[in-house]
Amino acid sequence: MGKYKHGKKEELLQFALVKQKVVNAVLPWKDEAFFWLLYYCGVRKSEAYERVASDFRITDTRLVVDFHQRKKRGAEVPPIGVATELVWSGQDYESRASGF
């Protein structure tokens, strides 16, 4: 079992608090999108970084990501769908999207 600097946290943060912290952080839109991808899909950073454009599909209501085979124990997982309204914090990205 791993060692935790401040003890293992057993309780979950309420979603409203998580969302408020993300909004208050004023992250670049790419960083925020990456955070929400990790938050909703529960994958390792390296698993998310390894995705290519063909692993993503956008429908009218969902962002679908295919993570293929997981790193730990090699389990094959079905594509994960996240409702599109969940991946937006409500911030104005028009002014910040110029770096894309």
Question: Looking at the predicted structure, is the pLDDT value of residue 1 above 90?
Answer: no
Predicted confidence band of residue 100 (pLDDT cuts 50, 70, 90):
very low
Read off the tokens for 80. Answer: 């994960």
Predicted confidence band of residue 88 (pLDDT cuts 50, 70, 90):
low
Check residue 94 and give its pLDDT. Answer: 52
Check residue 54 and give its pLDDT. Answer: 93
Read off the tokens for 43. Answer: 């994958």
> Domain extents for the chain?
15-89
CA distance 1 to 60: 42
3-class DSSP assignment, residue 88: coil
The 10s digit of each residue's pLDDT in 56-70 is: 988 888 888 888 877
